[in-house]
């Protein structure tokens, strides 16, 4: 009996490690040989014009703003939004001849914290003009019970430090900071399904929760940005992606740049460049057949996790009021256990139990490799010398969480590779995306561990001139 308990605990530990531990590192392509950034790296995308997001809207996506909003404490306003998307749902009854998956319109309602930071009135009347208004989107990592609350400390620190700098005339930029719950996470884990008579009914069978991919979350962020442009005069955009959700921010930037380029090429009638993105961090592009095989494998893993295995994992992670989450987080996520605070585990457990625990499906999609299915190569190729800047915020504690189980170990190659590997900073600089680095306190969960340091780093990046130094 003891041996069975130990095995069950080991399986849950391995699953939770991949959710929380790896989720804080930069996501690589599925076949990459090593992570391209140490744990704790955060990508910061900024300084591109908003045109291209508000004017393009795919036919299968819908976004509406709700008028319901309330204060979340301090200067932060919590706005209730809804996002509609068409997804294929699997048939409920198993038959010999499986029918085609049904295409259903699903409506996700979610909360979004919005913090508006404006210059002091006395400064606006002074000789220092306000140059621009920047919109900032905070994309939280995906994990057990993680939601927009992950950025609560950062929002408080941004509010305090921004007004301190504003009083001393150290900044002349207005900020609109938004922290939404991603689809199938937090408050966005209770979708409604449109019936044939156009009525919206709850998705009663949670096993029908759709398999989400990077383009679904990127579409949510893109429509949120487009609607914020209607309410606020946004001059430039900045995306902050903590953890494995970096491909989401990359794809949002890619879509905006690609749209602007398509319009330019249509006007000038010039052929687009077909050059490829080469880096030792990324494998060569796979053929379409190989990609489809990988996607089928990922979807099969997702289906497995949605069964008994995932239920046991979720139960064990939340038992005893999240005692395992607390212990695991102290050992693997933070530089100092005191950095977690009293609310970390409580927020994780409360968020994970919302809507009968349906937020687990976003975690299972992440575990299955949904964020790694599309990779980052195409996005980085599109962003090459595009004017989009990609910077890094790193934790001073550079310890890596080494897997101790044979399950995560790979066979060591007998032949030593003579290829000199680039750092992530070198890759970004060579790609024309600046690639500056600022270190803050903490290890992996930087925005939660060191809110003031993270806020200062973010404001410093926004204040730096858009100068790119390319290295060859």
Q: 187-242: per-residue pLDDT in tens? A: 999 888 876 655 666 665 556 678 899 999 999 999 999 999 999 989 999 999 97
Residue with the larger pLDDT of the pair 330 and 271? 330
Task: Inform me whether the pLDDT recorded for 69 exceeds 60.
Answer: no
Q: Would you say how long the chain is, in residues?
A: 472
**Buried residues in 244-262 as b, exposed as e (16+ CB within 10 A):** bbbbbbbbbbbbbbbebee
The predicted model gives 84-96 an average pLDDT of: 65
Number of Cβ within 10 Å of residue 469's Cβ equals 9
Residues 318/352, Cβ–Cβ less than 8 Å: yes
Residue the block writes with tokens 């919109």 = 135
According to DSSP, residue 383 is labeled T
Residue the block writes with tokens 């990508």 = 43
Note the pLDDT of residue 23: 32
What are the structural domains, with CATH classification, of the chain?
2-91+101-404+421-463 (3.40.50.1820)
Task: Inform me whether the pLDDT recorded for 107 exceeds 90.
Answer: no
Residue with the larger pLDDT of the pair 251 and 170? 251
Angle at 226 between CA 448 and CA 239, to 5 degrees: 30
> 408, 344, 396: which is closest to 11 by C-alpha?
408
In this structure, of 13-17, 195-199, 254-258, 426-430, the range with the lowest mean pLDDT score is: 13-17
pLDDT (tens digit, 9 = 90+) per residue, 251-278? 999 998 988 887 777 666 555 544 554 4
- The C-alpha atoms of residue 387 and residue 47 are separated, in whole angstroms, by 8
- Of 29-43, 198-212, 234-248, 274-288, the range with the highest mean pLDDT is 234-248
Pairing outcome for strands 42-48 and 236-242: antiparallel
Residue with the larger pLDDT of the pair 302 and 72? 302
Note the pLDDT of residue 66: 41
Note the pLDDT of residue 317: 94
Note the pLDDT of residue 363: 93
**Sign of the torsion formed by the C-alpha atoms of 156, 159, 160 and 161:** positive
Note the pLDDT of residue 96: 52
| CA distances from residue 371 to 217, 361, 375 in whole angstroms, order as listed | 10, 13, 7
Note the pLDDT of residue 97: 53
Note the pLDDT of residue 271: 53
Distance of alpha carbon 59 from the chain centroid: 24
Note the pLDDT of residue 19: 41
pLDDT (tens digit, 9 = 90+) per residue, 439-470? 999 999 999 999 999 999 999 999 988 777 64
- pLDDT band at 293; cut points 50, 70, 90: confident
Residues 398/40, Cβ–Cβ less than 8 Å: yes
Residue with the larger pLDDT of the pair 420 and 39? 420
- The C-alpha atoms of residue 341 and residue 322 are separated, in whole angstroms, by 14
The predicted model gives 65-71 an average pLDDT of: 46
DSSP one-letter string for 319-344: HHHHHHHHHHHHHHT-SSGGGT-SHH
Task: Inform me whether the pLDDT recorded for 322 exceeds 50.
Answer: yes
Note the pLDDT of residue 2: 53
Note the pLDDT of residue 456: 95
Task: Inform me whether the pLDDT recorded for 308 exceeds 80.
Answer: yes
Note the pLDDT of residue 391: 93
CA dihedral 16, 20, 25, 29 (to 10 degrees): 50
pLDDT (tens digit, 9 = 90+) per residue, 354-396? 998 999 999 999 999 898 887 788 888 889 988 899 999 999 9
The predicted model gives 164-182 an average pLDDT of: 89
Burial class (CB within 10 angstroms; exposed 0-12, middle 13-18, buried 19+) of 176 = buried
Residues 166/119, Cβ–Cβ less than 8 Å: yes
Mean pLDDT for the chain? 76
Residues 107/191, Cβ–Cβ less than 8 Å: yes
- pLDDT band at 407; cut points 50, 70, 90: very low
Considering the chain, what percentage of its residues have pLDDT values greater than 90?
42
HSE toward the beta carbon, residue 364, CA cutoff 13 A: 28
Note the pLDDT of residue 244: 82
- pLDDT band at 166; cut points 50, 70, 90: confident
> 16, 9, 15, 235: which is closest to 133 by C-alpha?
235
> 268, 215, 250: which is closest to 431 by C-alpha?
250
Residue the block writes with tokens 């991949």 = 18
Residues whose CB falls within 8 Å of the CB of residue 117, separated by 6 or more in sequence, listed in order:
75, 158, 159, 162, 163, 174, 175, 176, 177
Task: Inform me whether the pLDDT recorded for 142 exceeds 90.
Answer: yes
Task: Inform me whether the pLDDT recorded for 344 exceeds 80.
Answer: yes
The predicted model gives 63-75 an average pLDDT of: 50
**Buried residues in 41-70 as b, exposed as e (16+ CB within 10 A):** bbbbbbbbebebbbeeeeeeeebebeeeee
* Coil vs helix vs strand at 104: strand
In this structure, of 45-54, 118-127, 232-241, the range with the lowest mean pLDDT score is: 45-54
* Coil vs helix vs strand at 39: coil
- Please give the span between the terminal C-alpha atoms of the chain, in angstroms, as a whole number: 60
Task: Inform me whether the pLDDT recorded for 80 exceeds 60.
Answer: yes
In this structure, of 41-50, 105-114, 361-370, 440-449, the range with the lowest mean pLDDT score is: 41-50
């Amino acid at each position: 009996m003891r041996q069975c308990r130990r095995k069950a605990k080991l399986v849950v530990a391995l699953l939770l490690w991949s959710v929380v531990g790896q989720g804080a590192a930069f996501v690589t392509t599925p076949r990459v040989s090593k992570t391209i950034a140490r744990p704790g790296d955060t990508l910061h995308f900024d300084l591109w014009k908003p045109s291209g997001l508000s004017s393009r809207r795919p036919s299968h996506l819908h976004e509406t703003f709700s008028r319901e909003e309330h204060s979340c404490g301090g200067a932060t306003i919590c706005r209730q939004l809804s996002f509609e998307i068409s997804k294929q749902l699997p048939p409920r009854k198993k038959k010999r001849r499986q029918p085609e998956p049904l295409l259903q319109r699903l409506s996700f309602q979610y909360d979004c914290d919005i913090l508006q930071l404006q210059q002091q009135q006395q400064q606006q009347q002074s000789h220092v003009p306000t140059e621009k208004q920047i919109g900032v989107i905070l994309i939280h990592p995906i994990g057990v019970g993680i939601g927009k609350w992950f950025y609560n400390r950062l929002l408080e620190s941004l509010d305090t430090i921004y007004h301190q700098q504003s009083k001393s005339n150290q900044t002349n930029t207005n900020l609109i900071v938004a922290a939404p719950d991603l689809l199938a996470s937090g408050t966005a884990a209770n979708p409604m399904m449109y019936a044939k008579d156009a009525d919206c009914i709850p998705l009663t069978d949670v096993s029908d929760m759709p398999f989400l991919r990077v383009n679904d979350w990127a579409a949510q962020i893109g429509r949120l940005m487009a609607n914020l442009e209607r309410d606020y005069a946004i001059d430039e955009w900045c995306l902050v992606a903590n953890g494995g959700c970096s491909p989401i921010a990359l794809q949002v930037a890619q879509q905006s740049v690609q749209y602007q380029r398509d319009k330019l090429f249509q006007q000038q009638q010039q052929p687009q460049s077909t050059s490829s993105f080469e880096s030792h961090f990324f494998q060569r592009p796979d053929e379409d057949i190989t990609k489809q095989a990988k996607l089928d494998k990922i979807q099969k893993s997702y289906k497995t996790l949605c069964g008994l295995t995932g239920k046991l994992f979720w139960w064990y992670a939340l038992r005893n009021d999240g005692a395992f989450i607390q212990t695991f987080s102290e050992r693997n996520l933070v530089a100092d256990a005191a950095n977690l605070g009293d609310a970390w585990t409580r927020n994780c457990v409360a968020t994970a139990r919302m809507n009968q625990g349906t937020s687990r499906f976003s975690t299972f999609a992440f575990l299955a490799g949904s964020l790694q299915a599309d990779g980052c190569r195409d996005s980085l190729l599109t962003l090459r010398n595009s004017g989009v800047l990609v910077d890094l915020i790193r934790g001073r504690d550079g310890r890596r969480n080494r897997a101790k189980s044979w399950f995560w170990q790979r066979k060591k190659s007998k032949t030593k590779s003579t290829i000199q590997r680039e750092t992530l900073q070198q890759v970004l600089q060579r790609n024309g995306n600046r690639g500056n680095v600022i270190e803050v306190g903490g290890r992996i969960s930087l925005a939660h561990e060191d809110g003031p340091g993270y806020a200062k780093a973010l404001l410093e990046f926004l204040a730096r001139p858009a100068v790119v130094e390319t290295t060859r």
